[in-house]
């Protein structure tokens, strides 16, 4: 018998190149420790992050006021303000003039042990999916070095599709997707109103069978910041996704940039059998 445990973690990426995995835990019931080396405002920030991750504080929900947090944790309002300011700057919280501070909007839960299209994933989570097609064209150049991954030759052409993915009209993901030229019919379609996986299935009978996903860290340049409605240099969760058909042929290669403070990663961990070994592989980022 195989026993499976499903872990939900929130990944928060800081501008200082740290990756903080915050497990759903005690949340707002946590206490602060003035004897720790870590500043009190950082401890309070972690408490708020845990509360958001565990959904004790849900998106769009108003958080306790500065005065309430200061009283609850026996700290100064300046300390509270510093914690909240960092979370606002990182896009986790939103301040509304005269109304208070709220948890920011839609949070995408990315299920990394299944292959589900963006539209279907959003609908399952109760959000209204949306897509803005920024560009779709045939290209010869290969700036993201994907031709070899798609088993193409240097002079082969690619289909390049750039999309902005939305949830309840909020931008969440900027995505670059590359297809072999045999899928050029995609260029003639209105991709803003239909799932590409659905279109591939209905038109060519092709469905994704397996995917290799690699997670990394990046920071928003001016173009991505404008598209995602965030500040420049804000941390982004970068996912490289190599998707294959059932016969083993590459279907597409995608590079997506998600707002880290609005992205949950869902991972299925399966206990290994006696003749298996499992672990994590740390892959250095490409320079």
Query: Domain for residue 108, yes or no?
Result: no
Whichever domain contains 182, its CATH number is 3.40.1410.10
Cα(256)–Cα(242) distance, rounded to whole angstroms?
12
Q: What tokens appear for 24 in the block? A: 């759903």
Residues 190 and 257 in one domain: yes
Q: What is the pLDDT of residue 98?
A: 86
Residues 89 and 157 in one domain: no
Query: Domain for residue 281, yes or no?
Result: no
pLDDT band at 14 (very low <50, low <70, confident <90, very high): very low
Query: Domain for residue 245, yes or no?
Result: yes
* Alpha carbon separation from 85 to 55, 80, 157, 175, 235 (Å, rounded): 21, 9, 47, 29, 16
Structural domain boundaries enclosing 135: 114-262
Task: Label residue 85 exposed, middle or buried (CB < 10 Å: 0-12, 13-18, 19+).
Answer: middle
Task: Give per-residue pLDDT as tens, 231-251.
Answer: 888 889 899 999 999 899 999
Residues 99 and 118 in one domain: no
Query: Domain for residue 277, yes or no?
Result: no
By the 8 A CB rule, do 129 and 123 touch? yes
Q: What tokens appear for 31 in the block? A: 């206490």
pTM over 0.95: no
Q: 263-270 and 108-111 as β-strands: parallel, antiparallel, unpaired?
A: parallel
Query: Domain for residue 197, yes or no?
Result: yes
Nearest to 268 by CA among 130, 110, 68: 110
Residues 143 and 201 in one domain: yes
Residues 96 and 119 in one domain: no
59, 80, 103 - which closes a domain: 103
* Alpha carbon separation from 268 to 177, 242, 250, 283 (Å, rounded): 25, 19, 24, 20
Residues 119 and 252 in one domain: yes
Task: Give per-residue pLDDT as tens, 75-123.
Answer: 999 999 999 998 887 778 888 888 899 887 656 666 666 677 776 776 7
Cα(59)–Cα(10) distance, rounded to whole angstroms?
14
Task: Give per-residue pLDDT as tens, 269-284.
Answer: 666 655 545 554 444 5
Which helix (DSSP H) or strand (DSSP E) does residue 163 occupy? strand 158-167
Residues 214 and 184 in one domain: yes
Residues 96 and 142 in one domain: no
Task: Give per-residue pLDDT as tens, 176-194.
Answer: 999 999 999 999 998 988 8
The crossing angle, in degrees rounded to 10, of helices 40-53 and 66-73 is 110
Q: How far apart are the first and last CA of the chain?
A: 44
% helix, strand, coil for the chain, step of 5: 25, 35, 40
């Amino acid at each position: 018998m195989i026993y499976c445990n499903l872990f939900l973690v929130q990944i928060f990426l800081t501008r200082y190149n740290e990756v903080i995995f915050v497990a759903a835990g005690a949340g707002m019931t946590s206490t602060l420790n003035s004897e720790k080396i870590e500043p009190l405002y950082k401890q309070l920030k972690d408490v708020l992050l845990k509360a958001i991750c565990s959904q004790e504080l849900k998106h769009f929900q108003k958080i306790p006021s500065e005065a309430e947090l200061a009283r609850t944790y026996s700290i100064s309002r300046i300390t509270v303000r510093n914690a909240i300011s960092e979370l606002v700057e990182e896009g986790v919280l939103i301040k509304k003039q005269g109304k208070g501070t709220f948890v920011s909007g839609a949070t995408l839960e990315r299920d990394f042990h299944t292959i589900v299209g963006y539209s279907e994933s959003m609908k399952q989570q109760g959000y209204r999916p949306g897509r803005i097609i920024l560009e779709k064209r045939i290209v010869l150049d290969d700036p993201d070095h994907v031709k070899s991954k798609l088993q193409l030759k240097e002079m082969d052409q690619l289909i390049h599709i750039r999309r902005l993915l939305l949830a309840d009209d909020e931008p969440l993901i900027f995505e670059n997707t590359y297809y072999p030229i045999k899928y050029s019919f995609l260029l003639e379609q209105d991709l803003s109103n239909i799932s590409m996986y659905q279109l591939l299935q209905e038109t060519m009978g092709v469905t994704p069978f397996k995917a290799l996903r690699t997670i990394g860290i990046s920071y928003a340049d001016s173009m991505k910041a404008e598209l995602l409605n965030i500040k420049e240099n804000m941390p982004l969760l970068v996912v490289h996704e190599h998707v294959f058909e059932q016969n083993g042929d590459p279907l597409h290669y995608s590079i997506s940039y998600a707002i880290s403070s609005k992205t949950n990663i869902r991972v299925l961990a399966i206990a290994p059998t006696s003749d298996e070994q499992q672990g994590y592989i740390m892959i250095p980022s490409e320079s």
